[in-house]
Structures are given as C-alpha cells and as structure tokens.
C-alpha cells in the first residue's frame, strides 16, 4: 500500500506537471521595483507579529511608551497568563472541542464525499449546492435560536453544546475539501478492486481511504484551524470559564488589576496560542495550500 | 472529469446502479441529517422566535406579534446603520484583498530566489485566529503604545495622536486592516492556483506578437484569471458580510463599526430581547443569502460549473 500512497499525485505536482515551463519564466532578472514590492509584502505580513511579541515582552513604562525594542524585556506577562486558571481551562476546552468536532466531521464527511465524488446518485448537483450553501450561513442565524434551545434543554454553557453547532460549519468544509481530494484518486485502482469482486463500499474502505490519507490529513488541519478560530457560536453559547474556548477567553481577558495596562498580558496570551498554530502551518504548508485551493481551480 | 461507467457492458448494470444509488444515499444521509438538525431546524425555530415577543421580566412569558419585530427592525436606525457599515466593511476589505491578493499571487508565480520564504511568510497570518488578529492590530494602533501611532507622531504625520479605535472612520480603518492582514493570503493562494494553470504557450504567443508586459497582463492574464478572482471574491464577501469577531474585540461595535451580526448578538445576549434579536439574525441571514444568489447569478458561473460537473 505504501508505494501506492507515494504514487498518488498531490494537486501541487499535478499543476506543476501541467505547466512545467512556468517555473523558468522571468527567472533571476527581477525588476528592482518588484523587490521593493517583495519587501513591502514581507513587512506587512511580519511587522504586526513583531509588534505583538514586542508588546508581550514589555511592562510598565516601557509598555506605555511603546519602545521599538524592549529595553528590559520580561516574561512576566507570560507567567501571569500561565497562572491564570481561566486561560488554562480555555485551552483545555478548545483542544477538546477542536479534536472532537474534527474527528466527527471527518468520519461523516468521508462517507458523504465518497458518494459525491464517485458513486451514481440522484440529485447530486442539488445536494452539493445545498452543502456549499450551508458554508455561507451567518453563524448568528444558528447561534440565536441555539441560545434559546440550549437553555431549555440544559446544553447551554457546555462543551457538547458547542461541538454540535460547530459541526454545522465543519461538515460542509470537510465534505467539500474531501470530495475534491477523492476525485483526484485514479479510478483504475478502484476498477481493479471491482474486477476482484469488491463492492463499492469495500472499494471505499480498502482502496480509497488508504490512498486518501494525505487528503484526510489536509482536511483535518483545515477543519481543526477553522473550529479553533470560530468565535460567534462560542461567545453566544457559553458564559462560564468551564465551557469557554480560547478565543472567547482572550476576548474577555483583563489585566491583573484595574490599573494595570492589560494589553501586555493579552498579547502574551495571544502569542501563546498562536505559536502552536504557526508551527502547524509551517510544517504543513504544502498541505494547507493544496487543501485551500482544492476544487477552486479545475485545470 | 469525464464520467466513466464503472462496469461497462455488465449485464446487471441496472441492478448495480440501483445498489450504488442506495449506497450513495446511505453514505450521504448521516451528514445531511446532522446539517439539517443543526442548521435548518435552528433557523426554522429562529423564524418562530422572531414572530413573538418575549417578556424580559417573566421567563417563559411570550405573545405572538407577527411581523412586528421585523417592522420595528426595518424602521430602526440601528439596523440600517449596521447594514451600511457591514457593506462598507465588506466592500473595502474585499477590494483591498483582491487587489493585494492578485499582486501577491503574481509575485509568488515569479521564479526568484526567496520565493519559498515569501510563500511561507505570506501564509503565516493564516495561523492567526481572528481574535488575535484583532488584538495584534489593537497593539499597533494603541495611543502611545502602538507602532503605527508612534511612528506617525515621530514623523509629525496626522494620525499620531488620534485614538484610532475611539473615532468614527479611524476605527473602521483598523478593522479593515486587521481583516486584510489575515485573509489576503487566502485570496492570493486561490488566485495563484488560477495563475498556475495558464499555460506558458499563451504567454509565448503574446510575446511573439510583441505585446508589452502590461498589455499581456490586461489582455491575457486578467481575463484568464477571472474565474479564480471571482471565486476568491465570493468566499471573501460571504465571510466579510458575517463579520463579528473583529468589531467585537476592537470596539464592541462602537464608533460606526457595528455589523449586522453584532447588532443581533447585542439585542439577544446583552439586552435579552429574544424576539428582536431573532428577527435581526434572520434579516442578516436573508441579506447574506440574497448577496450570494446575486453573486452566483451575475458574477460568474464558477459554482454552477462545479455543480454541473457533479452530474
């Protein structure tokens, strides 16, 4: 099986193969103005990061004067964050919510995506349009009634009460991305399974799923990031630190005292939750790019 | 993708087809049921809630008021202010994202040393959750503490002593910037994917015809890129019209930044007006749906093409 996985063309490679000459165009003789633009793009992307880290390392006068380089960098803000039980609870909640939602969404979505990518089906176009249209629903239209329903049946301010509505947006994202990954798997492989007498479901389990591991991983990353990022449902459907995920906790983060400028601590908390995601994005950048653009452009 | 029959010439073709359709139905049903339960049912319930008025004092006390909540909302200044501000935000941020995104995509499509580094750097803001993006730009514009405010006042430029988040116009500018910073990479990558499927031959032909670089860009690249740009525009517009996190963190909706979603949230959670809040969330929903239908109808057939391909 491992050789088969290696043979599976990633979307990146597929594009590269289609236009092999593109990479050579304009090589090495860039106009100086283009370099100016490269530097500008880099600066626009990186300077805000620098300033967030810079702010998180300052306290007192050095913070309120906005020093370009912290004269006395301190990790005190980070200590404050890690000693805050509410922040730690929020981290725990976010991890649970993101893992459970991603897993459940992936299981159901892989079934649906296989049917949509491969099987004969009535009203397929309509079903796909319907699924796509769910992604454009404003979360407030679901959060508002959920707020009332959950308070009546006791799911308000619970982790489960957040996981369920988050599935609404995780599922279509997962189905859409997986469908385009499944379509890229060569049909010949399934056909040989059919020759051996496999049913479509067996072909799905024994041929498609193992081959789709990279696609599943990519989808998992995209869904995980989107669930981790989600804010509106989280803020509407929770009220206590026991259920609040990270984005909400940070939005309500206040300093150690009335008179302390809380921006240093808030920045530290922001850096803490950003670092793991930055690492994830750096390690998986190829996957993320291929997942984001999967199905966007058909060659 | 051309549809090939899986079992050509099989004598039990129709039986197999039926079995396959049955399987397809079984495999999609769980997802569809979940989505119906957690999307359609709540929205239906929201419509019911929006037709009633709920007592703020006595829990459970309500009366049917028909369309009164909608009439009040549509007659209110708050709704139209939020409506206008949401569209202003979406118009500004999406146009900036498309222009910058196209430029970034063209840059990333060039072969030069450091392209890999640039691609990584450009993707970084994608790792940032929106709330943190808001906080980051707050630190940039905070009076006395912010990088931008400090640089502006050192250079003696206007804006250095402005409390950006405290003033109309300025607050919106910060929110737009936070959005552009976080989401331009997304637009850029979609457009880059579109750029990479334009064949080299097309450019070679243009070069032979003596077209200038600018002519090539306007007459060849842009038209061929249109589907990718339209797709990025659809995704980004739908997102921008639902904006909530950025104004929530940066201004709590003050100073001309309240969005439709924020207004509905405030009525529902802060003011405990369930009927009014539900009516506002349904109005937000309808607004976004109308815009998406208009986009799909007039801006291009991308989504329909995707759908058609499934048939």
DSSP readout, chain A?
-HHHHHHSPPHHHHHHHH-GGGGGTTTT---HHHHHHHHHHHHHHHHHHHHHHHHHT--HHHHHTT-SS-SS---HHHHHHHT-HHHHHHHHHHHHHHHHHHHHHHHHHHHHHHHHHHS--TTHHHHHHHHHHHTTS-HHHHHHHHHHHHHHHT-TTSHHHHHHHHHHHHHHHHHHHHHHHHHHS-HHHHHHHHHTT--HHHHIIIIIHHHTHHHHHHHHHHHHHHHHH--HHHHHH--STTT--HHHHHHT---SSTTS-THHHHHHHHHHHHHHHHHHHHHTHHHHHHHHHTTT---
As to burial, measured by CB atoms within 10 angstroms (0-12 exposed, 13-18 middle, 19+ buried), residue B75 is exposed
Reduce the DSSP state of residue B301 to 3 states and report it.
Answer: coil
- Region A2-22+85-293: CATH code: 1.10.3720.10
Residue A45 contacts B where some CB pair is shorter than 8 Å: yes
ipTM of the complex, rounded to two decimals: 0.84
Give the number of other CB atoms < 10 A from CB of residue B301. 13
Contact assessment for residue B120 and residue B203, using Cβ atoms and an 8 Å cutoff: no
| Residue B4: pLDDT over 80 | no
Determine the average pLDDT of the residues in A228-256.
87
Which of B22, B125, B130, B139 would you mutate first to test chain A, the one with the most A CBs within 10 A?
A: B139
| Minimal C-alpha gap between B190 and chain A (Å) | 6
| Minimal C-alpha gap between B168 and chain A (Å) | 22
Position B149 scores a pLDDT of: 86
Range of the domain at B300: 68-310
Residue B205 maps to which CATH number?
1.10.3720.10
One DSSP character per residue, B188-248 reads: HHHHHHHHHTS-HHHHHHHHHTT--HHHHIIIIIHHHHHHHHHHHHHHHHHHHHT--HHHH
| Minimal C-alpha gap between B194 and chain A (Å) | 6
Contact assessment for residue A275 and residue A268, using Cβ atoms and an 8 Å cutoff: no
β partners of residue B273: none
Contact assessment for residue A142 and residue B43, using Cβ atoms and an 8 Å cutoff: yes
Determine the average pLDDT of the residues in A154-164.
93
For residue B135, is it within any domain?
yes
Q: Where are the domains of chain A?
A: 2-22+85-293
Most confident among A63-67, B1-5, B123-127, B181-185 (mean pLDDT): B181-185
Instruction: State the Cα–Cα distance between residues B246 and B214, nearest whole angstrom.
Output: 37
Q: How far is CA A151 from the centre of its chain?
A: 29
**Residue A153 phi, psi dihedral angles, 5° rounding:** -100, 10
For residue B56, is it within any domain?
no
For residue B5, is it within any domain?
no
Between B195 and A60, the higher pLDDT residue: B195
CB nearest A122 (choices: B4, B21, B114): B21
Instruction: State the Cα–Cα distance between residues A121 and A119, nearest whole angstrom.
Output: 6
Give chain B's domain count.
1
Instruction: State the Cα–Cα distance between residues A59 and A73, nearest whole angstrom.
Output: 8
Reduce the DSSP state of residue B53 to 3 states and report it.
Answer: strand
CB nearest A136 (choices: B19, B227, B292): B292
pLDDT in tens, B179-199: 999 999 889 988 988 888 887
| Residue B43: pLDDT over 80 | yes
For residue B18, is it within any domain?
no
Q: Which pLDDT band, with edges at 50, 70 and 90, does A199 fall under?
A: confident
Position A12 scores a pLDDT of: 43
Q: What is the mean pLDDT of chain A?
A: 82
Residue A284 contacts B where some CB pair is shorter than 8 Å: no
Which chain B residue lies closest to A39 (C-alpha atoms)? Answer: B118
| Minimal C-alpha gap between A231 and chain B (Å) | 6
Q: What is the mean pLDDT of chain B?
A: 84
pLDDT over 70 for what percent of chain A?
85
How much is the pTM? Answer: 0.85
For residue B28, is it within any domain?
no
């Amino acid at each position: 099986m491992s050789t088969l996985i290696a043979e599976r063309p990633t979307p990146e490679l597929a594009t590269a193969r289609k236009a092999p000459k593109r990479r050579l165009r304009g090589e090495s003789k860039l106009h100086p103005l283009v370099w100016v633009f490269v530097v500008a793009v880099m600066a626009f992307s990186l300077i805000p990061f620098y300033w967030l880290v810079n702010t998180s390392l300052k306290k007192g006068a050095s913070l309120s004067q906005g020093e370009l380089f912290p004269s006395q960098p301190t990790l005190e803000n980070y200590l404050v964050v890690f000693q805050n039980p509410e922040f730690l609870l929020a981290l725990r909640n976010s991890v649970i919510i993101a893992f459970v939602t991603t897993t459940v969404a992936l299981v159901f979505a892989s079934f649906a995506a296989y049917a949509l990518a491969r099987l004969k089906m009535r009203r397929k176009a309509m079903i796909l349009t319907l699924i796509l249209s769910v992604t454009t629903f404003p979360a407030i239209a679901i959060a508002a009634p959920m707020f009332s329903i959950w308070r009546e049946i006791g799911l308000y301010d619970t982790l489960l009460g957040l996981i369920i509505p988050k599935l609404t947006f995780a599922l279509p994202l997962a189905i859409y991305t997986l469908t385009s990954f499944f379509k890229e798997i060569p049909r010949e492989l399934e056909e040989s399974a059919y020759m051996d007498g496999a049913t479509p479901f067996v072909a799905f389990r024994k041929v498609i799923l193992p081959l789709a591991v990279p696609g599943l991983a990519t989808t998992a990353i995209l869904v995980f990031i989107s669930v981790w990022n989600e804010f509106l449902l989280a803020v509407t459907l929770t009220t206590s630190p026991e259920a609040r995920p990270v984005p909400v906790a940070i939005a309500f983060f206040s300093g150690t005292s009335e008179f302390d400028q809380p921006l240093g601590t808030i920045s530290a908390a922001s850096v803490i939750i950003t670092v793991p995601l930055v690492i994830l994005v750096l390690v998986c950048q190829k996957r993320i790019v291929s997942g984001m653009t999967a199905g966007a452009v058909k060659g | 993708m051309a549809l090939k029959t899986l079992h050509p010439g099989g004598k039990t073709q129709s039986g197999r087809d039926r079995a396959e359709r049955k399987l397809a139905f079984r495999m999609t049903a769980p997802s569809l049921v979940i989505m119906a339960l957690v999307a359609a049912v709540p929205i239906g319930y929201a419509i019911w809630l929006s037709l009633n008025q709920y007592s703020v004092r006595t829990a459970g006390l309500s009366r049917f008021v028909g369309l009164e909540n909608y009439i009040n909302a549509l007659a209110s200044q708050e709704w139209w202010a939020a409506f206008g501000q949401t569209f202003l935000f979406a118009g500004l941020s999406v146009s900036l994202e498309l222009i910058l995104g196209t430029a970034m995509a063209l840059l990333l499509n060039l072969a030069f040393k450091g392209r890999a580094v640039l691609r990584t750097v450009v993707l970084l803001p994608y790792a940032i959750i929106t709330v943190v993006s808001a906080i980051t730009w707050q630190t940039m514009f905070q009076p006395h503490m912010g990088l931008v405010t400090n640089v502006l006042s050192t250079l003696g430029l206007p804006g250095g002593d402005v409390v950006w988040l405290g003033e109309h116009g300025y607050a919106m500018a910060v929110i737009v910037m936070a959005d552009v910073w976080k989401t331009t990479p997304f637009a850029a990558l979609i457009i880059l994917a579109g750029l990479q499927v334009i064949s080299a031959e097309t450019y070679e032909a243009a070069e032979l015809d003596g077209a200038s670089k600018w002519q090539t860009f306007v007459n060849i690249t842009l038209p061929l890129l249109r589907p990718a740009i339209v797709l990025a525009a659809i995704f980004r517009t739908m997102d921008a019209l639902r904006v909530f996190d950025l104004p929530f963190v940066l201004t709590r909706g003050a100073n001309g930044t309240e969005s439709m979603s924020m207004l509905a949230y405030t009525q529902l959670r802060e003011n405990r007006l369930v009927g009014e809040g539900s009516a506002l969330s349904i109005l937000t929903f309808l607004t976004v749906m109308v815009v998406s239908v208009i986009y799909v109808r007039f801006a291009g057939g991308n989504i329909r093409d995707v759908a058609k391909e499934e048939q």
